[in-house]
Each structure stands twice: as C-alpha cells, then as structure tokens.
Structure 1
Amino acid sequence: MASPPHTVTARGAHQFEIVGYSLIKGLAAGEFVRSGAFAVGGYRWSVRFYPGGFSPPHRAFVSAFLKITSKDARAWARFDLRLLDRATGLSRSVRRAAEPVVFDYSAPPGKCRGKRGARALMLRSELEASLTIECVVDVVSGGVPPVAPRRLRAPPSDLSKHLGELLDRQDQTDVAFDVRGEVFRAHKAVLATRSPVFMAELYGGMKEKGMECIAIDDIQPVVFSALVGFIYTDVLVLPGDLLEGDDDDYKEMVRHLLEAADRYGMERLMLMCESILCRSLDGSTVETTLALADQHYCTALKDVCLQFMSLGLQG
C-alpha cells in the first residue's frame, strides 16, 4: 500500500528501563508491563513489554510493542524499537518500520493496529537482570492514514461463456470440417490452443494447404460437436435425447467421445469420459469398456473393469 504524501514529521524518543526482570519473568504469555506515557506529534504513547512473550507461540522470547494511548486517535507514524547497551550507551535497532504505518486506538484487539512492535525482541534465555528499550517515534502529518480497502471477491471466470458465444455466432471462423456430410465451422487459434493435434494439423507440418474444408470420415457428427463444444467451453455437454433416452446409447456416445479425445490429445476430456464410464459399468458393457481402456491406455478405467469382472466371477 502506498503511503500518503507527508510534509512534516514530529520526532520523539523514550527509554523504558526494565529493572528487576526476575520479578516479572513469571508473567504468562500476553501479560505485560507498560512504560510511562510520553507525547509525540500531539499523541500520547507508551511501550509495552511482554516478559512471557506476546502470545503462546512466542514463549521463548520477550516481546515489545509501541502503543498509541490517546483515546479514539488514529495516527500515521514510523517507529524504531531499539535495545540499549548499558555498558556503552549505544543502541541497536530490533524492529523498525521504514514506512509510516497506521496506529488506530479503536482497532479491534486482534488486528493489533493500535500497537506495533516485535514479537521476538530477544530470547528470554539471553536476557539478563535488566534491560532498556529505546523507542523512537516519527509522527507524520500532512497525509491522512488510509482506510483499509474493502476486500472484493472477483466474480467467477466467464471466459468459457464468451468463447461459447463466439462458437455459437460463428464470427470470423477460418476453418471448416466436413464430418460425414455435416459442416462445422470454427476458429483455428482456439482449436490449436486447446489441442496439440489441431495445432499440428492447422499450423504445423501436417497443415493441409489450400483446403477450405477438412474432411473427417471416422467420427460421428454428434461426437465431433461435443468435442468442439468442450474445446471452447471446457464443459462436457451431451445431446439431451441421449441423457433422457437409452442408457446404452449414452454410454456408447461417451466411449466414442473418449476415442476422439485421445485422437486430439484432449487429456482432461479423456479423464472425464473415463470417470463417467467407471461409474456406469455393468455386466453387458464391461468387456467392451475394458477393450477400449486397454486400447487407449486408460489405466484407471482398466483397473475398475478388471475389479468389476473379478467381483462378478467371485459372485
């Protein structure tokens, strides 16, 4: 998130000396002691020290946070939490916000926006009898702290819808197929994008130059229509009369569609056909389906057929 423009910065520093650590180190995770209040940029602040860690996952550490204490205030500030070396008087930064962040007194506790800091300030095992935390605060004015944007949920993809409409309208088609006397028009780019076989036939070395209409004699028109429809929409749609009519005709259609999917390298469509055939096995079709699975290297379908036959023999 980009920070707002700022023109003036008020800086302040506060040292929080923690003495008698042995007296407070038994505090549970989440319990704290606080420094005295100090003012920077027209707001009141304090430092919170958690000798047992900010939360249970941080029990191995001590934690420290800068908190805004001006009631109902919302400030935009940078901060730098430092540990002061008592021997040299020098400090080293432990947690620093390089860009301004929001401190919101009214933020829900779980959001932690009213306080910012270091959950792992230092290991508890390394802490001596006392320590001094120095906090430097830069309050930025001239810009308004941003309100967190509302999360918007993207609508479902409608790409398949638009491509399906493109196929229905036949806009700017540039290839035609004569499938047993029935003509289908389509778009080379769409077919080639979805099928490596169509890519080779329409753009590669297999390209048949000068042919306005490609003849296909070994696929039924209804099967080719379902194949092309799947290429455009990624949805398997079978003719309504098959869904409502003879179950054997429906299974036969799926078997032919699996063969067409294998021919054109449509792996996802093959898997969908396999799944349908696995769920619809019966004694009259299992041998035919097994031969189909073996011919087209459908391992899962073959295993289901063999298991079905084995159970039938046992029965």
Structure 2
Amino acid sequence: MASPPDTVTVRGAHQFEIVGYSLIKGFAAGEFVRSDAFAVGGYRWSVRFYPGGFSAPYSAFVSAFLKITSKDARAWACFDLRLLDRATGLSRSVRRAAEPVVFDYSAPHRKCKGKRGARALMLRSELEASPYLRGDRLTIECVVDVAAAGVAPRQLRAPPSDLSKHLGDLLDQQDRTDVAFDVRGEVFRAHKAVLATRSPVFMAELYGGMKEEGMERIAIDDIQPVVFGALIRFIYTDVLVLPGDLEGDDYKEMVRHLLEAADRYGMDRMKVMCESILCRSLDASTVETTLALADQHYCTALKDVCLQFMSLGLEG
C-alpha cells in the first residue's frame, strides 16, 4: 500500500565520543570501533569509525559510517556526519547525504547498503593536526532524518535550500551582530559564529589561539572595503557578488583582489571561482600579472592556463 503524501521524517542525533584515540590509531584497514546503539524513527543505529581506513585503498584516511542495526530492517534516511571542534563546541559537516538513501540490514555486505558514510572522511594526518582531536578525544556527531517505514525517496524530496537567503537576510538586518571590522574607515558588522564556521582563519582569530582581548572591533587596513564586503557576503550566502559598474581591466583587478582575500581567509570555493573567472578572461596584457598572482597563492589550475596561454603566444 502506498504511503500517504504528507508523511514526515523523524530526526535524531547522537554524539560518539572516542576517548583514547591514540589506542586505536594503529588499527589496520577495515578494523573499526562502534558507538552505542541509538534509536531514531523506530530503528536502531550505530556509528562506525575506522581509524586505519575502510579498506586498503583508503589506508591514508579515516573512515566513518552510519549503520542500521535493527535486524532485517530496511529504511530510507538522510544523514549528516559531523566532527566536533573541542575548543569551540562547534561542529563541521564532513559527509552529508541530503537526499534519502536506503539502509538495508539484509543487503549483501559487498553492496554496503546496511551502512552509509565516507571511506575518505579525512586524511589521518589532517585529522590529527586539527582542532577536532584534542586531549586524545574525538567526537563524531551524527544527525539522522528517518522516513516512516516504507516511504520512497520521491515522497521525501525536500524543497531547494533557502539557507543562503536566510543568512543573507541575517547579514542585511544586522540583527545580534557581535563583531565589527573597521576596514579603512568603513565598518562591517557580522556574527562571529557564522564567520568561524565558514573560515578557519576567522575561527582562529575569533575563538582560537590568535584571539585577543577586545576583539569586538577589529581594524583591517590592507584590504579594500569593497573587497572585504564581497568576502563577507560570500561567507553568508556562498554567492560571489562583484560591483556592477566594473568593466575590463578594473573588473579583472577586482577579481584578483577577491582571490587574494579568499586565499587569506581560507575560502577555497570562493578562491576557485575567482580562478575560473581569471582563466576565462586572460589576455596578453594581464597574463604575466595573473601568472605571478597564481604562483603566489598556489593556484595550480590558473598557473597552468597562464603558461599554456604564454606558450601559444610565443609559438604564434
């Protein structure tokens, strides 16, 4: 019998705290530790963590999976695997299934349908140098949205995300801001938690070891206000907005400044978007400047395009 169209999902969350990471870091590929079982949506679940990787090809990584443990059960669910920053209490999503996937306890092991997750969750070296591992402790947070029994994915499809709109509105309304930046006399107000969640540099400046007393107002003299404004807008909305009155060389120069800001604040997606724009707008008058920029900020793809452009020019 078909499920009713207004079927809702049930959300649950579980924190798997691993105490004594050093005791398991030498596990071979395929060996794992599991969390206590927890219940969501009428099913039982557990989190599995593979410190030596899920299998030999992933031995440089740590792996993590959500597994359904209710015997002979079959469920549709979305899930979000997150790592908890032990210094700030904030968590970061590292593997998310936004669309529902099937968890089938009885499926053959080789299909891995009884568990879903990430074989390459994070490089082990990256994890061990990160703020997620402190005091020999690691916390994996798993958020699960489970459909009523028997519901198919088409009945669970969520509307398009409006998170960027809401965060953009939050920035525009300036509601409950708790930090201000004085950028060459122009003041930008923002929310520490949003900045820190999106940028590892802001995380360090606002919450980590680089934090200083009186950080509610921060002076920045080496970035143009229009560039810093575009950076903040991107942090909130994931949209790169450039002034509409820029053309030609002025437009390219603005993109170069945005790339530098993106690199400075660890905004990798914004940096790649700027690289893409510069790759498409190369010309003989700017290629040398762009090549120097690419070399300085480790933009491998942009550097390769510049060198290819120059090679073709020389051949011509």
SS of residue matched to 1:303 = helix
The structure-2 alpha-carbon separation of the partners of 1:192 and 1:35, relative to structure 1 and needing over 3 Å to count, comes to closer
Q: Which moved more, 1:230-239 or 1:55-64?
A: 55-64
Q: Which moved more, 1:66-75 or 1:253-262?
A: 66-75
1:256, 1:93 → 2: CA distance?
Answer: 29
SS of residue matched to 2:155 = coil
The structure-2 alpha-carbon separation of the partners of 1:186 and 1:39, relative to structure 1 and needing over 3 Å to count, comes to closer
1:180 counterpart = 2:212: no
Once the two structures are TM-superposed, the CA of residue 137 in structure 1 deviates from its matched residue by 36
Once the two structures are TM-superposed, the CA of residue 240 in structure 1 deviates from its matched residue by 1.4
Provide, for residues 20-55 of structure 1, a one-character-per-residue CA deviation record: whole Å limited to 9, x for no partner.
Answer: 999999999999999999999999999999999999
SS of residue matched to 1:2 = coil
SS of residue matched to 2:16 = strand
Judge conservation of contact 1:20–1:129 (CA < 8 Å) in 2.
no
SS of residue matched to 2:99 = coil
Q: Which moved more, 1:42-51 or 1:288-297?
A: 42-51
Provide, for residues 6-31 of structure 1, a one-character-per-residue CA deviation record: whole Å limited to 9, x for no partner.
Answer: 99999999999999999999999999
Instruction: Tell me the residue number matched to 2:261.
Output: 260
Judge conservation of contact 1:7–1:142 (CA < 8 Å) in 2.
no
Provide, for residues 283-315 of structure 1, a one-character-per-residue CA deviation record: whole Å limited to 9, x for no partner.
Answer: 000000000000001000000000000000111
The structure-2 alpha-carbon separation of the partners of 1:172 and 1:60, relative to structure 1 and needing over 3 Å to count, comes to closer
SS of residue matched to 1:268 = helix
Provide, for residues 140-163 of structure 1, a one-character-per-residue CA deviation record: whole Å limited to 9, x for no partner.
Answer: 9999xxx98973532100000000
1:236, 1:74 → 2: CA distance?
Answer: 42
1:139 counterpart = 2:146: yes
1:275, 1:56 → 2: CA distance?
Answer: 35
Judge conservation of contact 2:100–2:153 (CA < 8 Å) in 1.
no
SS of residue matched to 1:204 = coil
Of structures 1 and 2, the larger Rg is shown by 1
The structure-2 alpha-carbon separation of the partners of 1:97 and 1:6, relative to structure 1 and needing over 3 Å to count, comes to farther
Between the two proteins, the alignment pairs up a number of residues equal to: 309
1:19, 1:206 → 2: CA distance?
Answer: 27
Provide, for residues 151-189 of structure 1, a one-character-per-residue CA deviation record: whole Å limited to 9, x for no partner.
Answer: 353210000000000000000000000001100000000
Provide, for residues 64-84 of structure 1, a one-character-per-residue CA deviation record: whole Å limited to 9, x for no partner.
Answer: 999999999999999999999
Once the two structures are TM-superposed, the CA of residue 196 in structure 1 deviates from its matched residue by 0.4
TM-score (norm 1): 0.53
Judge conservation of contact 1:6–1:140 (CA < 8 Å) in 2.
no
Once the two structures are TM-superposed, the CA of residue 213 in structure 1 deviates from its matched residue by 1.2
The structure-2 alpha-carbon separation of the partners of 1:26 and 1:142, relative to structure 1 and needing over 3 Å to count, comes to closer
The structure-2 alpha-carbon separation of the partners of 1:160 and 1:314, relative to structure 1 and needing over 3 Å to count, comes to same
1:164 counterpart = 2:174: no
Judge conservation of contact 1:6–1:142 (CA < 8 Å) in 2.
no
The structure-2 alpha-carbon separation of the partners of 1:233 and 1:82, relative to structure 1 and needing over 3 Å to count, comes to closer
The structure-2 alpha-carbon separation of the partners of 1:263 and 1:28, relative to structure 1 and needing over 3 Å to count, comes to closer
Once the two structures are TM-superposed, the CA of residue 210 in structure 1 deviates from its matched residue by 1.7
Once the two structures are TM-superposed, the CA of residue 211 in structure 1 deviates from its matched residue by 3.6
Judge conservation of contact 2:48–2:65 (CA < 8 Å) in 1.
yes
Provide, for residues 222-243 of structure 1, a one-character-per-residue CA deviation record: whole Å limited to 9, x for no partner.
Answer: 00000000000011111111x4
Judge conservation of contact 1:175–1:186 (CA < 8 Å) in 2.
yes
The structure-2 alpha-carbon separation of the partners of 1:171 and 1:283, relative to structure 1 and needing over 3 Å to count, comes to same
SS of residue matched to 1:100 = strand
Structure 1 gaps, min length 5: none
1:125, 1:225 → 2: CA distance?
Answer: 34
Structure 2 gaps, min length 5: 131-137
Once the two structures are TM-superposed, the CA of residue 192 in structure 1 deviates from its matched residue by 0.2
Computed over aligned residues only, the root mean square deviation of the Cα atoms, in angstroms, reads 19.1
The structure-2 alpha-carbon separation of the partners of 1:157 and 1:137, relative to structure 1 and needing over 3 Å to count, comes to closer
Once the two structures are TM-superposed, the CA of residue 262 in structure 1 deviates from its matched residue by 0.5
The structure-2 alpha-carbon separation of the partners of 1:2 and 1:31, relative to structure 1 and needing over 3 Å to count, comes to farther
% of aligned pairs identical?
A: 91
The structure-2 alpha-carbon separation of the partners of 1:162 and 1:102, relative to structure 1 and needing over 3 Å to count, comes to closer
2:89, 2:163 → 1: CA distance?
Answer: 64
The structure-2 alpha-carbon separation of the partners of 1:277 and 1:132, relative to structure 1 and needing over 3 Å to count, comes to closer
Once the two structures are TM-superposed, the CA of residue 88 in structure 1 deviates from its matched residue by 69
1:88, 1:192 → 2: CA distance?
Answer: 10
1:114, 1:274 → 2: CA distance?
Answer: 41
The structure-2 alpha-carbon separation of the partners of 1:218 and 1:152, relative to structure 1 and needing over 3 Å to count, comes to same
2:251, 2:90 → 1: CA distance?
Answer: 82
The structure-2 alpha-carbon separation of the partners of 1:176 and 1:151, relative to structure 1 and needing over 3 Å to count, comes to same
Provide, for residues 84-141 of structure 1, a one-character-per-residue CA deviation record: whole Å limited to 9, x for no partner.
Answer: 9999999999999999999999999999999999999999999999999999999999
Judge conservation of contact 1:293–1:299 (CA < 8 Å) in 2.
yes
The structure-2 alpha-carbon separation of the partners of 1:210 and 1:282, relative to structure 1 and needing over 3 Å to count, comes to same
TM-score (norm 2): 0.52
Judge conservation of contact 1:85–1:91 (CA < 8 Å) in 2.
yes
The structure-2 alpha-carbon separation of the partners of 1:2 and 1:291, relative to structure 1 and needing over 3 Å to count, comes to same
Instruction: Tell me the residue number matched to 1:231.
Output: 235
